[in-house]
Amino acid sequence: MNILLIFLLVFKLSAADLKEGIKLFKKASYKEAKKVFLEIIKNDMKNYTAYFYLGKTSRILGDNDNAVLALQKAMELQPDKVDPYIELADVYLVTGNRNLAEKYCFYALEYDKENDRLFYILGQIYFNKEDYDKAKLSFQKACKYSSENAYYYNVIGLTYMKLNQDNKANTAFLTAVALDSRIYFFYFNLGLSYENLEKWEKAKDSYEKCLKLNKDYEYAEKQLKKVKNILRRKKKSK
């Protein structure tokens, strides 16, 4: 068997395995997917996609050291691809290395200035650094580039609360629950914003909706009790 035929055979097998690995990844069968990507790399050490997905899979499985190694290899193979930079930034954010997370976000910006996830990660970095003005600007861009993502409106709402911009926070949380009414903590945050605006009935309603979605959420129970007491006192004082 000549060298060209061997190469084509390995390439064909790698492509088939890669499809299977990505299929497993999308089904959230991460351990099985990881085995597939590792096997591909044994036979094809220059397979960018296998390294990239190995990095993503390792990160999800909590194997952050190997996630970093795989993503760095993916970057080395195709330095103009933005996705490995973003994944690396996310790994470093999760592991508490905000400076490296920010560094890789800035690298990613050289290749993609309109990536919503990139600005979401940057916003989280600045939020964790308590630089809420920068966090707000980053989350605003995330919302701009992905206007249907409810989670982005939730985090920008939290940022507005930190900046004491209560009306804007309330509007952001209302947008979040309008986009996705299944997330209990959106309603909890909405309730907090109504409390800040002293709209007690609406705060009560928000906490009750939160508890319908998660009856064991103790923070909502505590806030609901507080708001009910305030409403009772107001009723008595009339």
Please indicate whether residue 17 or residue 214 has the higher confidence score (pLDDT): 214
Tell me whether residue 151 is in a domain. no
* pLDDT digit string, tens, across residues 128-177: 999 999 999 999 999 999 999 999 999 999 999 999 999 999 999 999 99
Give the pLDDT band (50/70/90) at residue 203: very high
Q: Does position 191 have pLDDT exceeding 50, yes or no?
A: yes
In this prediction, residue 236 carries a pLDDT of 83
The torsion defined by the Cα of 180, 186, 192 and 198, in degrees rounded to 10, comes to 10
Tell me whether residue 79 is in a domain. yes
Number of domain units in the chain: 1
Tell me whether residue 198 is in a domain. no
In this prediction, residue 187 carries a pLDDT of 98
**CA 168 to chain CA mean position, Å:** 22
Please indicate whether residue 22 or residue 3 has the higher confidence score (pLDDT): 22
Please return the burial class of 78, using the count of CB atoms within 10 Å of its CB with bins 0-12, 13-18 and 19+.
Answer: middle
User: Which has the closest alpha carbon to 145: 174, 177, 180, 121?
Assistant: 121
In this prediction, residue 16 carries a pLDDT of 66
Tell me whether residue 180 is in a domain. no
In this prediction, residue 68 carries a pLDDT of 96
Please indicate whether residue 235 or residue 228 has the higher confidence score (pLDDT): 228
The whole-chain average pLDDT of the chain stands at 92
Give the pLDDT band (50/70/90) at residue 89: very high
Please indicate whether residue 7 or residue 218 has the higher confidence score (pLDDT): 218
In this prediction, residue 167 carries a pLDDT of 98
Tell me whether residue 101 is in a domain. yes
Q: State the residue range of the domain holding 67.
A: 13-113
Question: pTM for this one?
Answer: 0.85
Q: Residue 86 maps to which CATH number?
A: 1.25.40.10
CB proximity list for 30: less than 8 A, separation 6 or greater: 24, 57, 60, 61
**R_g over Cα of the chain:** 23
The torsion defined by the Cα of 197, 198, 200 and 204, in degrees rounded to 10, comes to 40
* pLDDT digit string, tens, across residues 22-72: 999 999 999 999 999 999 998 888 999 999 999 999 999 999 999 999 999
Tell me whether residue 142 is in a domain. no
Tell me whether residue 39 is in a domain. yes
Mean pLDDT score, 99-105? 94
Please indicate whether residue 115 or residue 234 has the higher confidence score (pLDDT): 115
